[in-house]
Amino acid sequence: MTSGIAKTEQIDSPLKRIPVRRDHYGNWTHPHLPDWSDQTSSVEMERWTQEKGIHSKIVHIGNRYSPEIVERWLSGETGPSPDWPAGFEQDGYMVLSVSQIGDDIIVWLARSVKIQKAA
């Protein structure tokens, strides 16, 4: 007999923070992500993150900030820093992918979350 009480559980994420080394196009993808095709929907990708206990979000950086700040941020310094522009503080997040599209830099961020499971 179950009590019906939800239990909070931390899922061990298959993804660990690693250095971002963008290619000559400005792109990078975490090597432990599934090998999704260009036709993979964002719904399918979001479902995968939820199953793995990962909260993700997309951030558009653009070209508004100095390259030094962007590189520090992409290298994993996502916590508080006095010289971050508004919105750069993403404490606890890691970079899953970076896409350079024209003047815009699009970053997919993630962090592990606790999920509720029925007891």
Phi and psi angles of residue 30, each rounded to the nearest 5 degrees, phi first: -55, 130
What pLDDT does residue 44 have? 93
What pLDDT does residue 11 have? 47
What pLDDT does residue 70 have? 77
Task: Please give the chain's pLDDT, 119 residues, in tens.
Answer: 445 544 444 445 567 878 888 899 888 898 988 988 889 998 998 899 888 888 888 888 877 777 777 777 777 666 667 766 666 667 777 888 888 888 888 888 888 876 555 55
DSSP 4-73: --EEEEE---S---------TTS-EE-TTS----TT--HHHHHHHHHHTTEEEEEEE-TT-S-HHHHHHH
What pLDDT does residue 10 have? 47
Q: Which of 103, 101, 102, 75 is nearest to 88 (CA)?
A: 75
